[in-house]
Amino acid sequence: MATTAEFDVVVLGAGPVGQNVAERARAANLRVAMVERELVGGECSYWACVPSKALLRPVIALSDVRRVDGARQAVTGTIDPAGVFSRRDRYVTNWDDAGQAEWVAGIGATLMRGHGRLDGARQVVVSTATGEETRLLARHAIVVCTGSRPALPDLPGIAEARSWTNRQATDSSEVPERLAVVGAGGVGVEMATAWRGLGSKVTLLARGSGLLPRMEPFVGEFIGRGLSSAGVDVRTGVSVRSLHRPTPDGPVTLELHDNTELQVDEVLFATGRAPLTDDIGLQTIGLSPGSWLDVDDTCQVRAVDDGWLYAAGDVNHRALLTHQGKYQGRIAGAAIGARAAGTPLDTGPWGTHATTADHYAVPQAFFTDPEAAAVGLTAEQASAAGHRTRTVDIEIGDVVTGAKLYADGYAGRARMVVDEDEHYLLGLTLVGPAATEMLHSATIAVAGRVPVARLWHAVPCFPTVSELWLRLLEAYRDSAD
C-alpha cells in the first residue's frame, strides 16, 4: 500500500535543471520534493557536459601549446589516455552522487529516489526498485525536468552493433583503434575531437553538406579543416544504410548509401535527442507519452488546465542546452513562488519571470579545435525573421594583435549581425582558439540589446583577443561608407 506525502512543489528529475527549480522554489519558502530514478546531478554531470569537457580539455590544451613557438618544442610525448580518464573520473566523482544528494538536503528539499510518474492532476507516484510506492501530492506545481535521451535511427543491425551514444562516448575508458562518429552536430564534432586526440582513428560521417549546420556556414568549414588536420577522416553527404556486428567483440561494418563499407571497432551515433517523457504518466493527464511539452515563457505547460504543470530543460524543446535549461529552471521556480504568494511576476530583484532569452539570446559553445561559439541569430535566421540587417566579418588572426600573440598563425573568424532599424546586435558567431571564453560579452550585448553606438565605449584591453570587438565595430563603420 502506497504512503502519501504532500508538498508545495514536486520536481521530476534532479539534474541541474531540476536543482535550479528546487533552489528558487525553496527560496520562496515552498516545500519541495525532488524525484530521481538515476543519479542526482543528471545527464550533464555524469554523461554529457562535465565528462565530455574533461576529456576534451587535455586535447585542446596540447593543441594550444603546439600553436606557440618556443612552447611547442617542449612537447615530446603524446596524450596519456589513462591520465585523461582518471581526470574525467574525478570530475564525475566516479559516478557517485552522494555530494549532490547532500546539496539537495542542504537547501531543505526532500529527495525521493525512484521512478516518478504522473497519476492525474497534481499527483506523482514514486516507485522504487523494491516495489515500494509513495504518492506525492503537489499543492502548487509539478515540474517535469526529465531531460532527453539519444534518438537513434531505425537502421537494420543497429541493435546488433551495440552502438555508442553520448553515454558510452563519455564514460568509456578504452580507446577503440577505429571509431566511426555518425552525426555532425555538437556531440559528433566534440567526440570526434576528443577520441582522435586520445589516439583513435576516427571517421566522421555527416549526412548533410557541412558540420554544425545550425551555425554560420563558415564555422563548419573551420572545424572540418581542424578535424582533418588532426587526422580525422571527415566525410560529408554520407548516410548509413545498415550495420553488422556478427560477434560481440568483433568489428562493426557500416554499409553506406553509396554501397561502400566502413569497418570500425565502435560506432557512435550522435543523431539528435528525443524527450524522456515516454514513461512519466503523461497519458493520465491527457497528453501523449514520448512527446515534447509545449510551454509559455514561465515554463507552464500550455495544454494543461489550472496551470499546475511546468516543464523546464530539454523536455520543452526550446533549447537543448544545459545552461539554457538551468535558466528556465530559475525562471520557473521563481514564477511558481510568486504565484503561490499571489505577487506579480514582474517584480523583485530578478526582474520579469519570463524566459525571454529563449527567443533571441541563446548562447552555445563547442569545444572543438578550433572552438566555436555563438549567441543569437545567424545572418540567415535574422533575414528569415524579417529583420533588415547588416553583417560584418573579420579574420581574427589577421587584424587582432592579441590573437596573434595568443597563437602563432591564429586562424579564426568573427561575424556580427546588426539590426539596421534598431541598431543593436542580433547575433555574433566566433570560431578560433579560446572562442568559447569570449562568448559571454556577446551574450550580454545581445540579451541587453546594447546599441551599437554604446558598444564603442566598451573599451577592450590591449593586447587581448577581445580586441576583436573593436575590429568588428570598425568593420561595421567602414561598411557603411
Question: How many whole angstroms separate alpha carbon 189 and alpha carbon 366?
Answer: 8
Whether 356 has a binding-site annotation, put simply, is no
Whether 186 has a binding-site annotation, put simply, is yes
Burial class (CB in 10 A: 0-12, 13-18, 19+), 424: middle
Burial class (CB in 10 A: 0-12, 13-18, 19+), 350: exposed
> Which residues are within 8 A (CB) of 301 and not within 5 positions of it... i.e. 6 or more apart?
144, 287, 293, 294, 295, 309, 310, 311
Whether 392 has a binding-site annotation, put simply, is no
> Which residues are within 8 A (CB) of 269 and not within 5 positions of it... i.e. 6 or more apart?
150, 152, 153, 158, 163, 164, 165, 182, 183
Whether 188 has a binding-site annotation, put simply, is yes
Whether 146 has a binding-site annotation, put simply, is yes
Whether 237 has a binding-site annotation, put simply, is no
Question: How many whole angstroms separate alpha carbon 213 and alpha carbon 219?
Answer: 9
From the list 316, 226, 245, the residue with the least C-alpha distance to 277 is 316
For the chain, how far is it from start to end, CA to CA, in angstroms? 78
Are 146 and 317 in contact by the 8 Å Cβ rule? The answer is no
Q: How long, in residues, is the chain?
A: 481
Whether 290 has a binding-site annotation, put simply, is no
Phi-psi bin for 294: left (phi > 0), alpha (psi -120 to 50), beta?
A: beta
Whether 53 has a binding-site annotation, put simply, is yes
The string of DSSP codes covering 147-175 is -EEE-----TTHHHHT-B-HHHHHH--S-
Provide the grid cell at 35: 524525484
User: What are the backbone dihedrals phi and psi of residue 242, each rounded to the nearest 5 degrees, phi first?
Assistant: -165, 165
Q: What one-letter code names the amino acid at 234?
A: V
> Which residues are within 8 A (CB) of 218 and not within 5 positions of it... i.e. 6 or more apart?
393, 413, 415, 431
Are 273 and 149 in contact by the 8 Å Cβ rule? The answer is yes
Q: Name the DSSP class of 96.
A: -
Question: How many whole angstroms separate alpha carbon 200 and alpha carbon 213?
Answer: 25
Provide the grid cell at 91: 570530475
Whether 185 has a binding-site annotation, put simply, is yes
Whether 371 has a binding-site annotation, put simply, is no
Question: How many whole angstroms separate alpha carbon 134 and alpha carbon 141?
Answer: 17
Whether 376 has a binding-site annotation, put simply, is no
Annotated binding site: 53, 116, 146-148, 183-190, 272, 314
Annotated binding site for NAD(+): 183-190, 272
Annotated binding site for FAD: 53, 116, 146-148, 314
